Chains A and B, each alone.
Chain A
Amino acid sequence: NAGVTQTPKFQVLKTGQSMTLQCAQDMNHEYMSWYRQDPGMGLRLIHYSVGAGITDQGEVPNGYNVSRSTTEDFPLRLLSAAPSQTSVYFCASSYSNTGAGRQETQYFGPGTRLLVL
């Protein structure tokens, strides 16, 4: 299994540009989430999904859109990038229930570093 993958690894945008951060997992996890990490702030939840077709807002959703058309993919869209969105973005996934021998936790992707000029 590749686990949780994120593309791109690094991106530079100009203010006002749009882009989509890709996230995919091959572990058949029901739950997926997006976080941003800023210096001294820890990780903050942007959006999350408990299954295909279901999404909800986290702590800092403004400026971001998500959709979940398949179990595997959970893209994060920036419609009009702003310098305040310069950050490292992490995608995570987890099981919805504990099966035998499962260590139920969130598995994180390697992150996408975004710079908005």
Chain B
Amino acid sequence: AQKVTQAQTEISVVEKEDVTLDCVYETRDTTYYLFWYKQPPSGELVFLIRRNSFDEQNEISGRYSWNFQKSTSSFNFTITASQVVDSAVYFCALSEGRSGGGADGLTFGKGTHLIIQP
């Protein structure tokens, strides 16, 4: 069975600090897909990134970066120079096998509530 663990329930930092959100996953499949979503206070789910299991290349997008390590089954998310607008709940999610888009749906972690204080 697949599982996603986000051990950090809540993180609070001061603006401009760097912050890393941890995600550890479990799956028996050799082909799988990992995602990060952002849920701001308004409640919608905003897609941030999708990563295939066969592509361990790290990715940087502006102030966001992702570190995917199959050896430790982790897909961590770092925000550099955090801003108040980054305050949100962040979810890591996993999809196995036949479709990277989630034919069988996604398995979500419980989320990390990130608070950026001005």
Question: Interface residues, chain A, CB within 8 Å of chain B?
Answer: 31, 33, 35, 40-45, 48, 50, 56, 58-59, 88, 90, 92, 94-98, 103-108, 110-111
B59-67, B70-78, B79-87, B105-113 - the one binding chain A: B105-113
Pairs A–B under 8 Å by Cβ, sample size 16: A31-B99, A31-B102, A33-B106, A42-B6, A43-B93, A48-B104, A88-B43, A92-B102, A92-B105, A94-B102, A94-B103, A95-B101, A96-B99, A103-B47, A104-B99, A106-B106
Cα distance A77–B91 in the bound complex, in angstroms = 26
- The answer to whether the Cβ of B55 comes within 8 Å of any Cβ in the partner chain is no
- Interface residues contributed by chain B, number (CB under 8 Å): 24
Q: Which of B1-32 contact A (CB under 8 A)?
A: 6, 9
A43 interface neighbour in B6, B9, B43, B108, Cβ under 8 Å: B108
Q: Tell me the interface secondary structure of chain B in the complex.
A: loop
B35 interface neighbour in A40, A42, A105, Cβ under 8 Å: A105
A98:B43 contact, CB within 8 angstroms: no
For the complex of A and B, 10 pairs with smallest distance between CB atoms: A94-B101, A45-B105, A108-B45, A42-B108, A42-B110, A104-B101, A43-B108, A33-B105, A48-B105, A104-B100
Residue in B6, B50, B99, B102 whose Cβ sees the most chain A Cβ within 10 Å: B102
B14 to chain A, nearest CB (A): 25
